Amino acid sequence: KGFFKRTVRKDLSYACREDRQCLVDKRQRNRCQYCRYQKCLSMGMKREAVQEERQRTKERDQNEVESTSSFHTDMPVERLRDAERQIGFKVEPSMKYEGSINSIRQATDKQLLQLVEWAKQIPHFVSLPIDDQVLLLRAGWNGLMIAGFSHRSIGVKDGIVLGPGVTVSRNTADQAGVDIIFDRVLTELVSKMREMEMDKAELGCLRAIILYNPEVRGLKSVGEVEALREKVYASLEEHTRLSHPDEPGRFAQLLL
């Protein structure tokens, strides 16, 4: 409902990258905004109803504007971007790899500690019950770290940057037995981020989406986590619309 209202009020338009028959369910509804909007229409939602609601009174209109504004300021892209920058500054320079399993573990252990500090900078995370914070980090640490490694590696040819001064080459990955993961990260993530010229704000949003996963088992605040994820989606959508007005499909492409 909130997505439909935002679309109508801001007169947003979307494009489908497939055949306009994308699956739209709770888990994948943000992958294609065009098909999501079409489903809203097929379910009986009316553009006229939203427009009439907004025009009923001047006071109601002002409240809606303030509500929309607070929705984004509650999860500002700047905070998510700054969280990425702060972690980048905090990473300690490390010596070069010797190609051993132990050296990989040492580097990833340092990144895990930084990951906790990063999560504390994400809006509302520390307000969640401590047990939920632990569950979310345990469930998402792998994807969060891979996303971070990948973005750091955009400027490196055939290598993955674990931190300043620490780069894993293809040869190192082979020796450590992680060559399959290495190739997947390079071909599926690093190349995509490089091609899209993904900025740190977009990276921060994507990592926050990974963090705020309402489907993690055992969560006490499922509804709150889901609402926070929706706020990140909305902030990312707004950011891509303003920063890349000539790329209407960028938001959906980032989520693929």
Q: State which of 11-20, 37-46, 187-196, 217-226 shows the largest mean pLDDT.
A: 217-226
Q: Domain ranges for the chain, please list them.
A: 2-73, 77-255
Whether 77-255 and 2-73 are alike in CATH topology: the answer is no
Q: Using pLDDT thresholds of 50, 70 and 90, give the confidence band for residue 66.
A: very low
What is the end-to-end Cα distance of the chain in Å, rounded? 23
CA distance 49 to 118: 42
Q: Specify the pLDDT at position 124.
A: 96
Give the architecture (CATH level 2) of 2-73: 2-Layer Sandwich (3.30)
Is the pLDDT higher at 14 or at 240?
A: 240
Answer whether 85's CB lies under 8 Å from 200's CB.
yes
- Digit-coded pLDDT (tens) for 105-133: 777 788 888 999 999 999 999 999 999 99
Q: Specify the pLDDT at position 93.
A: 40
Is the pLDDT higher at 133 or at 166?
A: 133
Mean pLDDT of the chain: 82
Q: Specify the pLDDT at position 70.
A: 43
Q: Specify the pLDDT at position 100.
A: 54
pLDDT > 70: percent of the chain: 82
pLDDT > 90: percent of the chain: 41
pLDDT at 136 over 90: yes
CA distance 19 to 29: 16
What is the arithmetic mean of pLDDT over 23-48? 83
Q: Specify the pLDDT at position 53.
A: 65
What is the arithmetic mean of pLDDT over 138-164? 87
Beta bridge partners of 160: 168
pLDDT at 187 over 70: yes
Q: What CATH class is the domain 77-255? A: mainly alpha
CA distance 211 to 228: 10
Answer whether 77's CB lies under 8 Å from 202's CB.
no
What is the arithmetic mean of pLDDT over 33-52? 84
Q: Specify the pLDDT at position 111.
A: 83
**Closest Cα partner for 185 from 139, 154, 140?**
154
Q: Specify the pLDDT at position 67.
A: 41
pLDDT at 96 over 50: no
Q: Specify the pLDDT at position 205.
A: 96
Q: Using pLDDT thresholds of 50, 70 and 90, give the confidence band for residue 101.
A: low
Q: Using pLDDT thresholds of 50, 70 and 90, give the confidence band for residue 202.
A: very high
Q: Specify the pLDDT at position 63.
A: 46
